Amino acid sequence: MKRAAMPPSTPSPSLPPGPKSRWVLDHVYQHMKDPLSFFVRERERYGDVVTFTMGKHPMVLLSHPDHARHVLVDNAANYAKSPEARRNRRFGRGLFPADGEHWRRQRRMAQPAFSRERLAGLVDTLVDSTRSMLARWEEHARGGEPLELLREMSRITLSQMGRAVLTEDMNETRPRVRDSIRFIMTHDNRDRSLWDLIRIPRPSWRRYTNALAALDEMIYEQIARRRQSPGEWDDMLSLLMAARDVETGEGMSDELLRDEVMNLFVGGHESTATALAWTWYQIHRHPQVEQRMRQEIAEVLGEREPGAQDLPNLRYTTQVFQESMRLLPPAWLVGRVAMGADRIGGWDIPPGTMVGICTYLLHRHPDFWEDVETFDPERFDPERVAKRHRQAYMPFGAGQRLCIGNHLAQMQATVVLAMGLRRFRMEVRDKSALVLKAGLTLRARHGIQVRLESLPARESTARQSVG
């Protein structure tokens, strides 16, 4: 009797190279302890595609623009948001963690709030909030009191986003909400430990829950006021409440409105604040950049405050912000999960693989950037940008998931930098190299303490151009 032929053997998947794990949670521990240094070190050893052991499924780190484009653009349907992002209590089912058809529906409904005309109408609000910040800075400059940069930038972006989304400056009217947001930002950017994996309750968790409850109470109150008096409000929340799905004609529930406000108001202000803090730090370190910015601001604005028509002409100021986000992107890691088998860079990606796209490394890839550690805003001259790989620079993501608030964030930064530089010179107190802390955003582990020097009115606009 003939023996049945054996089926051909299936070759084992060819996973990308990576470090060997010394014990079962070794890579998890290293990732929690100092994820950015861990990734930088292993990328130098193994190249643009690196595999780490992270439990049941491997994690693959990507740092080449071609691979980022594959995951986020060309084969985006195969890559879903990570489970950790979807479990985040702060963001709920809003745009940041959403996926699939739900995300597409929410994006369509939120898009009108970010139209070109709508954003242009917010410039006066951005200017007014910045004016209040500068008045407070005058007091600090006179007293010689130091300021912590991220805290200051969080205060101004919280004011701007509060007024844009909810017609209310939370710094002034709701100190409990302001303090709750500060705690949530600190908590979500804390150092992780193995205890977080097994979810042992900690005292900070109760405080975190209470802080979220304070935000929820405020947001639901705002929704209820608009339900009772429709047509009396002209802000992003009112636009979200008026939006209707083109297919069903339905609007958002109160729960979905809450989630989108949390994404736009809380999440949006945090990333912009982080980017602005790093930009001020870079301006201080590069006097020639600061001088050129002052010259441009004087030429474009003179003694005026910026208007919507001025922002496109403050090109170099915008480029400084862009170059700062190249070197120190707040969203330093983009996470996805492979739903089906795939191949990236000649390597197999099994279903369930966690994929991390490290923008910090993308923005330093030597094949696409020269003198990668040099701060050079001229990299973002339009002619040079047009010749560059589109995914070599992606501080706001890429593809269909490009951050909906990217233009607003750049407007906020241009207004704050233009108005602030005209009135003040900044000195960083601790000249030593800063230690990076890679949490939900990339920030300075010990903060950035600065002192402000108030400039005379004429000096602030003319001194640098004469010199």
Query: pLDDT at position 30, please?
Result: 74
Domain holding 398: CATH number?
1.10.630.10
List, as one string, the DSSP characters of 241-306. Answer: HH---TTT-----HHHHHHHHIIIIIIHHHHHHHHHHHHHHHHHH-HHHHHHHHHHHHHHHTTSPP
Is the residue at 370 inside a domain? no
Is the residue at 448 inside a domain? yes
Chain-centre distance for alpha carbon 245 = 28
Q: Which residues of 417-451 are buried (b: 16+ CB within 10 A; e: fewer)?
A: bbbbbbbbbbebeeeeebeebbbbbbbbeebbebb
Where does the pLDDT of residue 15 fall: very low under 50, low under 70, confident under 90, or very high at 90 and above? Answer: confident
pTM for this structure? 0.91
185 Cβ neighbours under 8 A, 6+ residues apart:
154, 270
Query: pLDDT at position 291, please?
Result: 97
Query: pLDDT at position 1, please?
Result: 38
Query: pLDDT at position 4, please?
Result: 39
Is the residue at 164 inside a domain? yes
* Least confident residue range of 18-22, 175-179, 272-276: 18-22
pLDDT at 13 over 50: yes
pLDDT at 8 over 50: no
Where does the pLDDT of residue 3 fall: very low under 50, low under 70, confident under 90, or very high at 90 and above? Answer: very low
Is the residue at 27 inside a domain? no
Q: Which one is predicted more confidently, 201 or 398?
A: 398
- Number of Cβ atoms within 10 Å of the Cβ of 453: 11
Query: pLDDT at position 199, please?
Result: 62
pLDDT at 464 over 60: no
Where does the pLDDT of residue 431 fall: very low under 50, low under 70, confident under 90, or very high at 90 and above? Answer: low
Mean pLDDT score of the chain, rounded to an integer? Answer: 88
Between CA 386 and CA 155 the distance in angstroms is 35
Is the residue at 368 inside a domain? no
Where does the pLDDT of residue 23 fall: very low under 50, low under 70, confident under 90, or very high at 90 and above? Answer: low
pLDDT at 429 over 80: yes
Query: pLDDT at position 2, please?
Result: 37
Q: Which two tokens stand for residue 331?
A: 């969203």
Query: pLDDT at position 280, please?
Result: 97
Where does the pLDDT of residue 461 fall: very low under 50, low under 70, confident under 90, or very high at 90 and above? Answer: very low
400-413 pLDDT tens trace? 999 999 999 999 99
pLDDT at 466 over 60: no
Is the residue at 20 inside a domain? no
Is the residue at 9 inside a domain? no
Number of domains present in the structure of the chain: 1
Where does the pLDDT of residue 244 fall: very low under 50, low under 70, confident under 90, or very high at 90 and above? Answer: very high
99-144 pLDDT tens trace? 889 999 999 999 999 999 999 999 999 999 999 999 999 998 998 8
Is the residue at 211 inside a domain? yes
Q: Which one is predicted more confidently, 237 or 13?
A: 237
Chain-centre distance for alpha carbon 206 = 26
* Closest to 429 (Cα-Cα) out of 449, 452, 444: 449
Segment 264-284 mean pLDDT: 92
Between CA 344 and CA 348 the distance in angstroms is 7
Backbone dihedral region of 399: left (phi > 0), alpha (psi from -120 to 50 degrees) or beta? left
Where does the pLDDT of residue 325 fall: very low under 50, low under 70, confident under 90, or very high at 90 and above? Answer: very high
pLDDT at 463 over 50: no
**Owning domain of residue 302:** 95-330+381-466
* Least confident residue range of 34-48, 68-82, 192-206, 257-271: 192-206
